[in-house]
């Protein structure tokens, strides 16, 4: 196994930190650690990067124990949320910095390698630009190039897209995944954004209060959540109790039809363009329903409707 975190524990108090964290990662995988603020995901990333020392447990990378190595001795690079670029340096100097001081290359060779990585992230022509004159997306690409140029075995990403606007965030997600596939680098990405986790990841690690609650592919954690917590955190979900059993039903797995004697009434409607979100209710349940297409947007508040459940998850 390429990377193993064994019983990794770091507690700041009884409630905050990481507890007995166990995870195995294959080389070249894109792993996302997902969870709300305070769940321990950034603590885990800092333990991997060497910025925190664990109370107990081990970190094994490529057969070696790196648990007690300082950050500069680990073949790991980090892209921080703030990007942490050097404002007094231009683009190529920022990217070349790690090549010179971590890979120990001469200045001329470092500049040649830096130019290659600047081209990879799509910033050719910006080599001599000051980072302060770049847009947020361009600065993020510089941070990625600088981190990748040190030739790390693992690239850690601490919510690097959170400072971007919505449309740029979507584009940078696509570019990040394409870079990862092309370079075949192992990436561990931390976020609280479920859509980022679902579209980027080979494997998602869902955390709550310092513990791993589920590990699986995007499809597994979405369609087969291990608990109500996972189902409610990743996507919208309806909780339905019938015959003494509890089911989770995704809003898109409910179809509705108009009926004079319909069991439910449409209480609310929000048109979102590609889909329409409805809230329907009877005397026992309130359900969220998402329908796609033009015809599915025709239901109105006050309509009586019947439902058909296409898929339900047993909990």
Tens of pLDDT along the chain (315 residues) come to 899 999 999 999 877 899 999 999 999 999 999 998 889 999 999 999 999 999 999 999 998 999 999 998 999 998 887 778 888 899 999 999 989 888 888 889 999 999 999 988 888 999 999 988 888 888 888 988 888 888 899 999 988 777 777 777 787 788 888 888 888 899 999 998 888 899 999 999 999 999 999 999 999 999 899 988 998 888 889 988 877 888 899 999 999 999 889 999 999 999 998 899 999 999 988 999 999 988 899 999 999 999 999 988 887
Dist CA 273 CA 87 (whole Å):
42
**Residue 157 token pair:** 């990403």
Whole-angstrom distance, CA of residue 21 vs CA of residue 251: 32
| Count of Cβ atoms closer than 10 Å to residue 209 Cβ | 16
Phi–psi pair at 251, nearest 5 degrees: -55, -30
Rounded to whole angstroms, how far apart are CA atoms 120 and 27?
Answer: 21
Global pTM value: 0.86
Taking CA atoms, 233 is separated from 38, 203, 229, 237, in Å, by: 14, 16, 6, 9
Count of helices and strands (H, E) across the chain: 8, 18
């Amino acid at each position: 196994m390429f990377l193993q975190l064994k019983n990794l524990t770091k507690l700041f108090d009884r409630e905050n930190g990481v507890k007995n964290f166990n995870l195995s990662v294959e080389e070249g995988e894109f792993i996302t650690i997902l969870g709300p603020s305070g769940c321990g995901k950034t603590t885990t990333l800092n333990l991997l990067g060497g910025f925190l020392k664990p109370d107990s447990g081990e970190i094994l990378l490529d057969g070696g124990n790196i648990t007690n190595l300082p950050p500069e001795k680990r073949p790991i690079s980090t892209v921080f949320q703030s990007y942490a670029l050097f404002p007094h340096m231009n683009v190529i100097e920022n990217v070349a910095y790690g090549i010179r001081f971590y890979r120990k290359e001469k200045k001329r060779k470092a500049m040649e390698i830096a130019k290659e990585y600047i081209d990879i992230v799509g910033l050719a022509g910006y080599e001599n630009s000051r980072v302060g004159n770049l847009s947020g997306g361009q600065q993020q690409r510089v941070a990625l190039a600088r981190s990748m140029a040190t030739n790390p075995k693992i690239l850690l990403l601490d919510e690097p897209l959170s400072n971007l606007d919505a449309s740029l965030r979507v584009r940078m997600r696509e570019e990040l995944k394409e870079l990862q596939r092309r370079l075949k680098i192992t990436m561990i990405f931390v976020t609280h954004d479920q859509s980022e986790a679902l579209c980027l990841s080979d494997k998602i690690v869902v955390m709550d209060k310092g513990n791993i609650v589920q590990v699986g592919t995007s499809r597994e954690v979405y369609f087969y959540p291990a608990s109500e917590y996972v189902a409610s955190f990743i996507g919208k979900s309806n909780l339905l109790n019938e015959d003494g059993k509890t089911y989770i039903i995704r809003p898109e797995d409910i179809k509705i039809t108009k009926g004079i004697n319909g069991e439910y009434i449409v209480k609310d409607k929000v048109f979102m363009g590609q889909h329409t979100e409805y809230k329907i209710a009877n005397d026992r349940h309130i359900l969220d329903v998402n329908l796609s297409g033009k015809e599915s947007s025709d239901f109105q508040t006050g309509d009586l409707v019947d439902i058909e459940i296409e898929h339900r998850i047993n909990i």
